[in-house]
Amino acid sequence: MQLPVRFGKYELTHFLGGGMSRVYKAQDTVLGRTVAVKILTPEGIADADTRTRFLQEAKVSAALVHDHIIRIFDYGEEQGYPFIVMEFLVGADLKGTIRDGKLGDEANMLRIALEGARALQFVHENKLIHRDIKPDNLHVDDKGRVRLMDFGIAKTEDVSLTKTGFQVGTPFYMAPEQVNGDKATERTDVYAYGMVLYEMWAGVRAIQGTTIQSIFAAILHQPIDLTKLREKNAPEALIALVERMTAKDPAVRPGSFPEVIAELERMARALAPADTPTTAMAAPAAEGGISGKKLIMVLVPVVVLLAILATWLTIRQRNRIAGVDKDGTPPPPVHQTETGEMLVVPAGYFLFGNENARVLLPVYYVDTTEVPNEHFNRYLETKGMEVSEERRAADPRLPAVNVTYDEASGFCEWAGKRLPLPMEWEKAARGTEGWDYPWGEMPDTAKANVAGHEGARGAAVPVDSMPETATQYGALHMAGNVWEWVNEKRFPSAPALQSMQAFLDPPPTAEEDWRLAKGGSYAQPIEMTVVFEYLNLPARARLPFVGFRCVWTPDMK
């Protein structure tokens, strides 16, 4: 997939890795923050068990709010792909930190061990078993703080998400009871975390093996080699704790993480230097300094000046967003161009998307109509591009269709405009009331050229027809007639790829450029013209039911 690409309200910018799910660095375009987006692959979607575990991870993770557990901001399904949105962490996983020798001194190692243990205590307090504890799933950020990650196979006490006879988990850290197919308990996580502590101090895994059979045999029958810990000068208290945590018999292990935490805290206290008594010293009186009264007299004018400056900047920013001129003149209601009249969409908040997110947009102008053949043909001629006989013969007032995304974008640029962003298109269509349709909440086939419209032709109608279709701002045919290209990259879903097979040669791929179209067309029922609905299309698609319109902003003068 070519990045950056738009996925819902997230712009995916960098691929971070993955297997059955792929993780991307992304930008939340509504809240303006950097996040990590985890998206299930088509292969994962096809496997019911994988899909179920992925959705379970989203629900489980979102419910856990703790300083040492990765934060989940959002989850759901977009374009047929389940996804999870997480905080973007800077740093490295514990596996890389161990490998690169960046754990620091023993005090820092104990701090890391304690933070991970406290996260797992919180998980267990919420009646969950992680079941896949390993260095890869513990992240150490750039400030040294630990985050527990990846709850893809976590389960509650009464939910099973694995197939009979198949245990999920990373083999090197699996407890003997997991290998035997027994029920996982809190002591199963204690075992795995003991293996993590071993690896932190020894620098190598406690279990070695090159095949599943040899790894499982070692887990079931071979005691871990504690001499490697002693060779690294690990504290005897730590060695004893690891030995108990990794016992083959669950009953021998600590029964809960509070026990593990208590042991680690004792070790940390033993390392801490004795408190040094300190004597409070009174500060000597200032000589020749400025008095409090004089200081206030000096600061007051400065504070007033800063307040005036802040007010001026606020007003200037507000006027910029609203498109108000320096003399206070508001933007005119109409912007005349050589390619048609444009209508003002005032600055302000509106309700965006099917969840009605409150979004602030600056002032802009939108074409009153879809771009007609008359203007698009003039653009092609001016640019020295071929105008087909079919296009010349078409009614000049009909919307220009069979236009690729790049051709639509090129026209808008030539006309001194640009294609609208999804938010701009949607605000122009639904107004400030958050309506589902340009005219209100209820579908009305009398107000749009759609399938089922009384007198419908099963084809596009002139762009300046049907004044009853007008939006709150006066734009026509923003529901029905033809779909309209908007400027947003998309991540194609499996159904979208399949649906475009019959329209394009060669068939589309997920790696090529995909864009968004909005508004529905004459070929769709009225329900498809809901203003927050969309159509996902390859940018190279030429379709008889897809056209476009442009927008313009005052800063484009």
Q: Which residues are part of the catalytic machinery? A: 132
Reported as type and span, the H/E element at residue 551 is: strand 551-552
Peptide bond just before 506 cis, omega within 30 deg: yes
Contact of 469 with 478, CB cutoff 8 Å: yes
Nearest to 374 by CA among 358, 362, 392: 392
Contact of 103 with 91, CB cutoff 8 Å: no
Rounded to whole angstroms, the Cα distance separating 144 from 152 reads 24
DSSP 150-161: --TT-EETT---
Q: Is 111 helix (H, G, I), strand (E, B) or coil?
A: helix
Nearest to 539 by CA among 551, 528, 548: 548
Rounded to whole angstroms, the Cα distance separating 317 from 159 reads 54
Q: How far is residue 420 from each of residues 290, 337, 385, measured CA to CA in Å?
A: 59, 17, 24
Rounded to whole angstroms, the Cα distance separating 134 from 127 reads 20
Peptide bond just before 372 cis, omega within 30 deg: no
Q: Which residues pair with 203 in a beta bridge?
A: none
Rounded to whole angstroms, the Cα distance separating 534 from 493 reads 13
Structure tokens at 480: 């029905």
* Numbers of helices and strands, H then E, in the chain: 16, 21
Peptide bond just before 4 cis, omega within 30 deg: yes
Contact of 551 with 366, CB cutoff 8 Å: yes
What DSSP character marks residue 103? S
Q: What are phi and psi of 514, to 5 degrees?
A: -115, 145
Tokens 């006989």 belong to 389
Cα-trace Rg, the chain? 32
